[in-house]
A and B are shown apart, each in its own frame.
Chain A
Amino acid sequence: MNLPTPTSPASTPRPAAVPAAANAAPPAICVRARSFNAWYGSHRALQDLSLDIPHERVTALIGPSGCGKSTFLRWINRMNDMVAGARAEGELTIDGESLLDAARDLVELRRRVGMVFQKPNPFPKSIYDNVAFGPRLHRHMTRAELDDLVEQSLRAAAIWNEVKDRLHQSALGLSGGQQQRLCIARAIAVGPEVLLMDEPCSALDPRSTASIEQLIRDLRSQFTIVIVTHNMQQAARVSDQTAFFYEGRLVECGPTDTIFTNPTSKQTEDYVTGRFG
């Protein structure tokens, strides 16, 4: 795996360097929110949120519809800039750099923070061109370099064997689950540090869901993954850390085991045991 790493080691403290003796120490923080508030027009979608997302871990955001988890996700790569009337206040940083600066370079940010959407959304182009789209935006590459990167990205997304013989056919001919893995390959190809996933399996059948979940587990050693999901079993299966949102507030955040077996808050317990939501 020699995917391009966008950030130099100097600027990004990676937990890989943590010595064995310090295993118990918490991993370095990637995305950090403090007193974070978000609005759509006059509707306050997120209130006084404080949350740490560690490097190279899977963080699941759970909660009933409208609780603000997707809103939070979409502020991490500033996708909310496309929404009229969306604004945010407070502290939100990635590797210590503020995300909310009006002058923030969104192109650079989105190269570092990739996103996979709820509905698979491959471009109406060939499989190859879908994966090559991001790299072509950001750098001049030779054909050989690009071929190599496309193959690596498709391999990383565990779809190479299924598509290697039809790279130049339309991506729209793939099944839903294959399309979603292609979208993950497309996001990986840019060499991001964080992968945001907004209910990536909600439009897929159980078998495709299983393959995406396996993929998420495989990718966690290389990427910081934040996944929004309505499926609590999924959160339990794939994540290291779980954050429970309710009505725009963070109720509880902790190791996934704890959240599901021994939550502190009564609300969390009711939700994860399926008593509401």
Chain B
Amino acid sequence: MTGRPRTTAARVLQNRLFLAACLACTSLAVLALAVLLISVLVQGVPGLRWNFFSEYASRKPDRAGILAPLSGSVWVCTTCMLLSLPLGVATAVYLEEFARRTRLNRFIELNVRNLAGVPSIVYGIIGLTAFSRMFGLVGSADGTPLVLGDPESFLHLELPFGQSVLAGGLTLMLVILPIVIIASQEALRAVPRGLRQASEALGATRWQTTWQVTLPAAAPTILTGAILAMSRAIGEAAPLLVLGIPLFIASTPESLMDQFTVLPFQIYSWASRPQGAFHDLAASGIIVLLAVLLSFNALAIYLRIRLQRSTAS
């Protein structure tokens, strides 16, 4: 061998320095999160009384609660998930399993990736035009909507969708659809090619292979991606703000056509008030929002472990 030998001591020192730098960066991030969480907890925990959950919004801080935004968030996110999961997974299955690598399909894939980076307020504008107002094409001139079905029942539609749960769910679907598609594509791509080959070599059609082999193998990862996308949806305020959803609302949604408001919007409104008592309420709201988010993530982890166990134990 040629060249001057490198001393061991210098390399070990270099290693230690790098380790220290990495640790410092990690602890900085953890510290920032801890400070944030502690300040929110100190400010917000006293406000977590029972009537905080059972009351509607009020001008008096001690009587204000989050019943409307909490139920609104649950309604709109469930709607959003039920809409975006089938659409997103189906799109990913098409792109990964069926589509040929044509220029058009590569262009579509590239654009899905770009759409994931579009600011959510832009989707709000699309939602307002397409779902809330339906380009002004339906409904009568004086603004009253076209009602399909019995307005008293759960199953009825009002066109255009206005500020309803359905309009909100569809708008949030636009926000998270690219995320769901990308996560599902990655999950499908991670399924070993050998499994598809084994299935096709046994005489399975592409559909049978996808439904019975590829999708079950990818399901735990798809689910994790979908629930992370849902945590994004539940934290969104901007696109719904553009839709013009009300802030004060004294009822919980009972059908997809009812009005709603969401937690981040309520928190934003409380935090922007001058009175300190409302700031405490905002902190309490943040705790509830975080709790909802964390329980979604916990659910994702639980489902993933259970699915993995049922397929691979």
Contacts and interface: CB of A to CB of B under 8 A. Distances in A.
Interface string A139-183: 000000000000000000000000000000110110000000001
Contacts of A121: 192, 194-195, 197-198
Contact of A187 (B192, B202, B205): B202
Contacts of B100: 84
A109 B203 CA distance: 8
Contact of B201 (A108, A110, A123, A173): A110
Contacts of A111: 202-203
B205 A107 contact: yes
Interface in B50-78: none
B313 interface: yes
A117 B203 contact: no
B255 interface: no
Contacts of B138: none
Contacts of B205: 107
Given A110-B203, A123-B213, A117 B198 contact: yes
A21 interface: no
A221 to B, nearest CB: 23
Nearest to B313: A170
B203 A134 contact: yes
A119 interface: yes
A28 to B, nearest CB: 24
Contacts of B201: 77, 79, 110, 114-115, 117, 187
Contacts of A190: 202-203
Interface string A116-138: 01010111110000000110011
Given A133-B212, A137-B208, A124 B311 contact: yes
Contacts of A115: 197, 201
A20 interface: no
A186 interface: yes
A31 to B, nearest CB: 16
A62 B205 CA distance: 31
Contacts, number: 72
B217 interface: yes
A103 interface: no
A110 B208 CA distance: 14
Interface in B184-225: 192, 194-205, 208, 212-213, 216-217
A102 interface: no
A82 interface: yes
Contacts of A122: 198
A201 B300 CA distance: 39
Given A107-B203, A123-B213, A133-B199, A172 B194 contact: no
B312 interface: yes
A110 B198 CA distance: 11
B31 to A, nearest CB: 41
A119 B200 CA distance: 16
Nearest to B217: A124
Q: Which of A84, A114, A121, A169 has the most chain B CB atoms closer than 10 A to its own CB?
A: A121
B202 A186 contact: yes
Contacts of A123: 195, 198-199, 213, 217
Interface of A: 77, 79, 82, 84, 106-111, 114-115, 117, 119, 121-125, 133-134, 137-138, 169-170, 172-173, 183, 186-187, 190
11 contacts: A117-B194, A117-B197, A123-B213, A124-B311, A125-B311, A133-B199, A133-B212, A137-B208, A169-B313, A170-B311, A190-B202
Given A82-B196, A110-B202, A133-B202, 12 more contacts: A77-B201, A82-B197, A106-B203, A107-B203, A110-B203, A121-B192, A121-B194, A121-B195, A124-B217, A137-B203, A170-B312, A173-B313
Interface of B: 100-101, 192, 194-205, 208, 212-213, 216-217, 311-313
